Each structure stands twice: as C-alpha cells, then as structure tokens.
Amino acid sequence: MIVAELISLKSLPVWRKRGYLPPEGMCCDDCELSYDDQEYDILFKRKKLAYFFFPDPNNASLLYVFCHDCLFKHIKVLAEGQETDLLILDDENEYQCKFYPEDMADDSKASDFLGGDGDDDIWPIFPTG
C-alpha cells in the first residue's frame, strides 16, 4: 500500500511549526512548482492543485512534498504497471483508493485526475473549505 498525506490549508501552520514546510509558500520537491499560501488557497479551492507529503519508499525517514502531478507520476513508477492500493490521509479522514496505472497515459498530467478533463471524481474526497 502506498500512503500520501494531503497538505490542507488549515494544517499549514502546524506543519510549519514542526519544521516540515518553509515559513511561506509551498514548493514541489520534484518539479519545483511553487506558490505562496494565498495562491495555493485559490488553486486548492478551485480544485486545480494539491500538495502532498510522500514518504520515500526506500527510506521512511525521508519525507517529500509533491504536487499532485508529481505524486501520481511517482505512484505510477512504484506501481510497476499493477493496480495498487493507495491510502490518502487528510486532517480528519483516511481514504482508501485504488491507483490504476493504465488510466494515466505516459504523457498525461495528473491534473487530468483533478478535473482537467471535466471529471472531478477525486475531489469529493478532499475537503476544500
């Protein structure tokens, strides 16, 4: 099972206090996509962007921050072409999901999963308010 934790807007102060996030803004550890808190708030609420904590599969003491696009790309590699169990955590809930690598074309963007193709199936599970 692969586990990822959604970085919600209300949890930002707690993660910053613990030293997991920089004082202002967010940045993906893979593609370096970055936004300040106000921009992240707007994009998150409009279901265009989400950041996640993602533990290194080979070293649990390493924790990455990935945008949703990079998260899905990393999960696809880890899934090795197989249907994979995915546990997504947020501030209050756990969501047990299935990741189907065949649903993600080699050149696709994960934003397609988040409404880019008119399909908002994933967003009802993530509170935006």
CA angle 56, 58, 59 (to 5 degrees): 65
pTM of the model: 0.78
The model's pLDDT over 56-115, given as tens digits with 9 standing for 90+, comes to 988 888 999 999 999 999 999 998 889 999 999 998 899 999 998 887 766 544 444 344
Q: What is the 3-state secondary structure (H, E, C) of the chain?
A: CEEEEECCCCCHHHHHHCCCCCCCCEECCCCCCEECHHHHHHHHHCCCCCEEEEEECCEEEEEEEEEHHHHHHHHHHHHCCCCEEEEEECCCCEEEEEECHHHCCCCCCHHHHHCCCCCCCCHHHCCCC
